[in-house]
Structure 1
Amino acid sequence: MKAEELRKKSDGDLDQELEALYKEQFGLRMQKSVGQLARPDRVGKVRREIAQIKTLMNERRRAG
């Protein structure tokens, strides 16, 4: 997801998106441990999206 799309979302939507990404990240870790990871590139993308959302949330908290 692009940063512009994330900035348009409300705080509640970002929280939901973050929770869904954490669940997906957990599932990917479990798949990797069992050796059934179909898309290894997705692990990095999920981590990047989590970081983008957390950064945006911190920016909003500091702004006011």
Structure 2
Amino acid sequence: MTVKEIRDMDSSKLLLEIDTLKEELFDLRFKQAIGQLENPARLKEIRKTIARIKTVITERELSDSK
């Protein structure tokens, strides 16, 4: 997911997306622990996407407060 796609979404959808990504991250960590992880790069990708979403949400909150 690119930053442009994230910025086009509204805040409620972004919060739902974070929840979905956190669930997927949990599942991938579990698979990694038992040795069945097929794509280890996906862990890093999900963490970065969550960070991007949180950054956009924070930017929106700061711009709303001004």
TM-score range, shorter chain: over 0.9
State the partner residue of 1:54: 54
CA deviation vs aligned residue, 1:5-62 (integer Å, no higher than 9, x gap) = 1000001100110000000000010000000001001000000000000000000011
Distance 2:60 2:34 in 1: 39
Equivalents in 1 of 2:41, 2:28: separation in Å? Answer: 10
1:1-64 matched pairs, under 5 angstroms: 1-64=1-64
For 2:25, the aligned partner's letter is Q
What is the alpha-carbon root mean square deviation over aligned residues? 0.4
Deviation at 1:63, TM superposition (A): 0.5
> Structure 1, unaligned stretches of length 5 or more?
none
SS at match of 1:36: coil
Aligned residues with identical type, % of pairs: 36
Q: Which amino acid aligns with 2:58?
A: N
